[in-house]
Chain A
Amino acid sequence: MQAQNKDRPSAEWIASMRGQFQTEREIDRVLTRKLERRAGPGFAPLALSTLVTGLQAMLRSRLDRPFNIKEARWLCGGASKLQMAFTLEWQRPGVGFERTPMVLRMEPAESIVETSRLREFQLLRAFEGVIPVPTTFWCDVDAEFLPYPALIYGFSAGVTKPATATSGVTGLGTQLTPAVRAQLAPQFVQHLVAIHRHDFTKSELTAFDMPAPGTTQCAEWGINWWDRVWEEDCDEEVPLMRVASAWLRRNIPVLDRVSVVHSDYRLGNFLFTEHDMRISAWLDWELGRLGDRHQDLAWTTSRAFGSVDVNGDFLVCGLMPEKEFLEAYQRASGLSVNPRTMHWYKAYNSYCIGVLILATSYRIARNGKTHQDVLVTWLIGIGGMIIDELRSLIEQGN
Chain B
Amino acid sequence: MQMRPEIQIASVIKAMKDVVIPAIDPANKLAVEQSQLIIGLLSLLSIQLPLWYRFDRDELARLLDCAKALQGVPAGDAATKPALERLRHSGAAAATVLEQCRVEPDSLTASVRELREAIGALVKAVAGTKDLAAQLGIERIVLAMSKDQLIRDRSFVKMQGWEPDPAAVPDIATLLPPV
Interface residues of A (CB under 8 A from B): 44-45, 168, 172-173, 235-243, 245-247, 249-250, 303-304, 306-308, 312, 314, 358, 362, 365-366, 368, 371-374, 376-378, 380-385, 387-388, 391, 394-395, 398
Whether A374 lies near B15 (C-beta < 8 A) is yes
Given A306-B164, A381-B157, A384-B157: A358 in contact with B142 (beta carbons within 8 A): no
Interchain pairs with CB closer than 8 A, number: 130
* Interface presence of B47 (CB below 8 A): no
CA distance A45 to B22 in the complex (A): 10
Which stretch (B68-76, B79-87, B97-105, B119-127) binds chain A? B119-127
Say whether B154 contacts A384, CB under 8 Å. yes
Q: Chain B contact residues: over half helix, strand or loop, or mixed? A: helix
Contact in complex: A237, B117 (CB < 8 Å): yes
Q: Which residue of A lies closest to B20 (CB)?
A: A374
What's the nearest-Cβ distance from chain B to residue A174, in Å?
12
- Taken together as a complex, chains A and B put the C-alpha atoms of A362 and B2 apart, in Å, by 7
Task: Answer whether residue B111 sits at the interface, using C-beta atoms and an 8 A cutoff.
Answer: no
Give the size category of B's interface with A.
Answer: 35 or more
**Cβ of B7 < 8 Å from any Cβ of A?**
yes
In the bound assembly, the distance between CA atoms of A239 and B8 in angstroms comes to 24
Least Cβ distance of A355 to chain B in Å?
12
Q: Please tell me if the beta carbons of A365 and B116 are within 8 angstroms of each other in the complex.
A: no
* Known contacts A45-B18, A304-B162; 14 further A-B pairs (Cβ under 8 A): A173-B161, A239-B120, A241-B120, A242-B120, A245-B127, A306-B164, A308-B164, A362-B2, A371-B18, A380-B7, A383-B2, A385-B162, A387-B150, A398-B139
Q: Counting chain B CB atoms within 10 Å of each CB, which of A243, A247, A387 scores highest?
A: A243
Name the contact of B113 in the complex, choosing from A236, A240, A308 (C-beta under 8 A): A236
Partner of A242 from B3, B127, B163 at Cβ < 8 Å = B127
Residues in A with CB closer than 8 Å to B156 are 384
| Measured CA separation A45–B20 after assembly (Å) | 12
B11 within 8 Å of A by Cβ?
Answer: yes
A366 contact from B1, B7, B113, B139, Cβ within 8 A: B7
Give the distance in Å from the alpha carbon of A378 to the alpha carbon of B10 in the complex. Answer: 12
Contact B11–A377 (Cβ < 8 Å): yes
- For the complex, what is the distance from the CA of A358 to the CA of B7, rounded to whole Å? 13
* Given known contacts A240-B146, A242-B120, A374 and B11 CB-to-CB distance under 8 angstroms: yes
Cα distance A381–B1 when bound, in Å?
9
Instruction: Assess the B143–A358 pair: CB atoms within 8 A.
Output: no
Give Cα distance in the complex from A362 to B4, angstroms: 10
Q: Is the CB of A246 within 8 A of B11?
A: no
A249 to B135, CA, bound (A): 12
- B160 with A381: CB separation less than 8 A: yes
Minimum C-beta distance from B159 to chain A (A): 9
CB < 8 Å neighbour of B151 from A237, A366, A388: A388
Residues of A within 8 A of B142 (CB): 239-240, 242-243
Q: Which residues of A contact B1 (CB under 8 A)?
A: 236
CA gap between A371 and B18 in the complex, in Å: 8
Contact B150 A384, beta carbon cutoff 8 Å = yes
What is the minimal beta-carbon distance from B146 to any residue of chain A, in angstroms? 4
Question: Are A394 and B157 in contact, CB atoms less than 8 angstroms apart?
Answer: no
1/0 per residue B28-63: CB within 8 Å of A?
Answer: 000000000000000000000000000000000000
| Shortest beta-carbon distance from B66 to chain A in Å | 41
The distance in angstroms between the C-alpha atoms of A371 and B139, with both chains bound, is 39
A243 and B151: CB pair below 8 A? Answer: no
CB of B164 within 8 A of CB of A303, answer: yes
C-alpha gap A366/B11 in the complex (Å): 8
Chain B residues within an 8 Å CB radius of A304: 162
| B153 interface residue per 8 A CB criterion | yes
**Residues of the B chain whose Cβ atoms lie less than 8 Å from the Cβ of A240:** 142-143, 146, 150
Distance to closest chain B CB from A397 (angstroms):
11
Chain B residues within an 8 Å CB radius of A246: 123-124, 126-127, 135, 139
> What are 23 A-to-B residue pairs whose CB atoms are below 8 Å?
A44-B18, A235-B2, A236-B1, A237-B116, A239-B116, A239-B145, A240-B143, A243-B143, A246-B123, A246-B135, A303-B164, A304-B162, A306-B164, A358-B2, A365-B10, A376-B11, A377-B11, A378-B160, A381-B157, A382-B157, A382-B162, A383-B2, A391-B143
Q: Are A366 and B10 in contact (CB under 8 A)?
A: yes
CB distance from A300 to the nearest CB of B (A): 16
Q: Answer whether residue B92 sits at the interface, using C-beta atoms and an 8 A cutoff.
A: no
A391 CA to B147 CA, complexed, in Å: 7
